[in-house]
Amino acid sequence: MRILITNIGELTTNAPGAGSAPGASPVPGVASVRGAGSVPGAGSVPEVSPVPGADSVPEALEGPDPCGTLHDAAVLIDGDRIVWVGSAAEAPDADETVDADGRAVIPGFVDSHSHIVFGGDRAAEFEARMQGQKYAAGGIRSTVAATRAATDDQLRARLRGFLDEMLAQGTTTVEIKSGYGLDVATEERLVRLAAEVTPEVTFLGAHVVPAEYADRADAYVDLVTGPMLDACAPHSRWIDVFCETGAFTVPQSRRVLEAGVARGLQPRVHASQLGPGEGVRLAVELGAASIDHGTYLTDDDVAALAGSDTVLTLLPGVEFSTRQPYPDARRLIDAGVTVAIACDTNPGSSFTSSMPFCIAVAVRDMRMTVAEAIHAATAGGAAALRRDDIGRIAPGMRADLVLLKSPSRVHLAYRPGVPLVEAVWKDGVRV
Ligand code: NIG
Ligand code: FE
């Protein structure tokens, strides 16, 4: 089944060079993500000829148009893949045609950081915070109690509700972390439930030290790196740790990450959310795919990131919901750091599932250009997950696309809070 989406007024391809010619020109290949490895569940990518010099997300960001914009364009989908991109005037025949009527099309959002398997919520904590109370890592423990008490079916129903909510807002790929179980049985349940809906599952047993291990953090790390890892690794692709005062020290974080790597998981790290620390440099040293938060970065952190393959994932919803200062994305991008934007959907620090909202905040308060923010929320997220089959609109990529109601992607930041998604295709299927 070949579906042609045509009459696209503004097409964000994220494909380097795609926007160089006036009008539209075919996008000749697929850019790969630096450091990309095999992706469980991602399937195979049809062979396409590589574009010389167009081989990484950082290079795409260096250009004047990180979004590889085409106008009066069309996209042909065949099955679950994009097979042709170019000028609407030269579009091939298809079984079905969708007229975009001059509106904008962007790649589906890649939300590379979420915690959406949990019980209960913390509305009272949020309300108290808005009246002056400070956010602290310890709040996680109240969600642990509610999560342990919930059945698999209750957690599954909630999880699927969040996914529907995300899809309706244009998110076609989501990473999901455990971390609200903090005992072997519940952590295993969380990664197992997450694996039902995404290949991007992260084992975060080292989210915080649970109450029953108070003052015995090292003994809890023994549990995480031993029986808990044994139970969770088969369902997971990633290993994560909250490396922060009030959670885990740098030596404890190193133990967790190295144990995960020894079991075949790939590292990603929560760091520098509540204050500066050495978590970013640990992440870079261990070749982590991403360090997430980075609210308090030192110049050494920025230099280390700029010289690495580690993506810095910004989480604007967290600063918004905790009233912490926004990190300066300009400082990072200008230094050459690869940046992603994600929602960090969780009941404590950021209970939004809206990538458009996060884009709007990143543009207003983190000083990103709209093009940089859209790129970070799509190709940036793909880089943070080391995926080379999503985050771009080019032949060979998964057919994950969003048709907006607006003529330009700028409206995503310009009209904050307004539902602007007209249609979403995931793996070539309109949802
Ligand atoms: O990414 N930083 C640690 N974990 C979550 C917050 C979890 C919570 O407060 O429940 C985060 O912000
Ligand atoms: Fe998080």
State the ligand closest to the CA atom of 243: 1
> Which CATH homologous superfamily contains domain 110-384?
Metal-dependent hydrolases (3.20.20.140)
Atom 9 in ligand 1: which residue has the minimum CA distance? 348
Atom 11 in ligand 1: which residue has the minimum CA distance? 349
Testing ligand 1's pocket by substitution, the residue of 122, 134, 144, 270 carrying the most ligand atoms inside 8 A of its CB is 270
Q: How far is CA 229 from CA 71, 218, 258, 288, 427, in A?
A: 49, 15, 11, 18, 31
Taking the chain, what is the end-to-end CA distance rounded to the nearest angstrom? 16
Which atom, in ligand 1's list, is nearest to the CA of 180? Answer: 10
Ligand 2 centroid, distance to 263 Cα (angstroms): 22
d(CA 21, CA 18): 7
Per-residue model confidence (pLDDT) at position 32 = 30
Side chain identity, residue 144: V
Give the strand pairing for 238-243 and 266-271. parallel
Per-residue model confidence (pLDDT) at position 138 = 81
Testing ligand 1's pocket by substitution, the residue of 346, 350, 358 carrying the most ligand atoms inside 8 A of its CB is 346
Per-residue model confidence (pLDDT) at position 313 = 98
Per-residue model confidence (pLDDT) at position 28 = 39
**Which is nearest to 362 in space by CA: 109, 371, 35?**
371
Side chain identity, residue 181: G
Which residues are close to ligand 2, an ion, with C-beta < 5 A?
Answer: 344
**Which tens digits make up the pLDDT trace of 94-119?**
999 999 999 999 999 999 999 999 99
Side chain identity, residue 245: T
Per-residue model confidence (pLDDT) at position 137 = 83
Atom 5 in ligand 1: which residue has the minimum CA distance? 349
pLDDT at 62 over 80: no
**Which tens digits make up the pLDDT trace of 198-232?**
999 999 999 999 999 999 999 999 999 999 999 99
Pair of tokens at residue 23: 């009008």
* C-beta 273 within 6 A of ligand 1: yes
Ligand 1 centroid, distance to 140 Cα (angstroms): 7
Q: Which residues pair with 314 in a beta bridge?
A: 341
Ligand 1 centroid, distance to 348 Cα (angstroms): 6
Neighbours of 25 (CB within 10 A): 17
Q: How far is CA 10 from CA 32, 100, 168, 336, 344, in A?
A: 23, 10, 21, 27, 29
3-class DSSP state for residue 242? strand
pLDDT at 40 over 90: no
The CA angle 163-168-174, to the nearest 5 degrees, is 40
* C-beta 270 within 6 A of ligand 1: yes
* C-beta 318 within 6 A of ligand 1: yes
* C-beta 382 within 6 A of ligand 1: no
Neighbours of 40 (CB within 10 A): 10
Per-residue model confidence (pLDDT) at position 54 = 35
pLDDT at 74 over 70: yes
**Is the Cβ–Cβ distance between 32 and 55 less than 8 Å?**
yes
* C-beta 209 within 6 A of ligand 1: no
Residue 16: band (very low, low, confident or very high) from pLDDT cuts 50, 70, 90: confident
**Is the Cβ–Cβ distance between 375 and 68 less than 8 Å?**
no
* C-beta 143 within 6 A of ligand 1: yes
Residue 130: band (very low, low, confident or very high) from pLDDT cuts 50, 70, 90: very high
Per-residue model confidence (pLDDT) at position 164 = 98
Testing ligand 1's pocket by substitution, the residue of 202, 344, 358 carrying the most ligand atoms inside 8 A of its CB is 344
Tell me what the mean pLDDT of segment 185-196 comes to. Answer: 98
Query: Long-range CB contacts (< 8 A, 24+ apart) of 183-187?
Result: 183/148, 183/210, 183/228, 184/223, 184/227, 184/228, 184/231, 185/231, 186/147, 186/148, 187/228, 187/231, 187/232
Give the strand pairing for 266-271 and 290-293. parallel
Per-residue model confidence (pLDDT) at position 404 = 98
Residue 29 DSSP class: -
Listed by start position, the domains of the chain span: 2-107+392-430, 110-384
**Which tens digits make up the pLDDT trace of 156-175?**
999 999 999 999 999 999 99
40 contacts: CB under 8 Å, gap ≥ 6:
199, 237
**Which is nearest to 136 in space by CA: 353, 361, 323?**
323
**Is the Cβ–Cβ distance between 221 and 206 less than 8 Å?**
yes
93 contacts: CB under 8 Å, gap ≥ 6:
2, 4
* C-beta 242 within 6 A of ligand 1: yes
Ligand 2 centroid, distance to 114 Cα (angstroms): 6
Atom 8 in ligand 1: which residue has the minimum CA distance? 348
Neighbours of 260 (CB within 10 A): 28
Neighbours of 53 (CB within 10 A): 10
d(CA 4, CA 356): 25
Length of the chain: 431
Ligand 1 centroid, distance to 181 Cα (angstroms): 13
Per-residue model confidence (pLDDT) at position 19 = 58
**Which is nearest to 106 in space by CA: 67, 61, 63, 54?**
67
* C-beta 118 within 6 A of ligand 1: no
**Which tens digits make up the pLDDT trace of 294-342?**
999 999 999 999 999 999 999 999 999 999 999 999 999 999 999 999 9
- The answer as to CATH 2.30.40.10 being correct for domain 2-107+392-430 is yes
State the ligand closest to the CA atom of 121: 1
Atom 12 in ligand 1: which residue has the minimum CA distance? 349
d(CA 127, CA 161): 23
Mean confidence (pLDDT) of the chain? 91
Which atom, in ligand 1's list, is nearest to the CA of 292? Answer: 1
Per-residue model confidence (pLDDT) at position 43 = 34
**Which is nearest to 76 in space by CA: 66, 88, 64, 85?**
85
**Which is nearest to 377 in space by CA: 198, 171, 70?**
171
Ligand 1 centroid, distance to 142 Cα (angstroms): 12
Ligand 2 centroid, distance to 33 Cα (angstroms): 23
86 contacts: CB under 8 Å, gap ≥ 6:
24, 25, 26, 27, 70, 73, 74
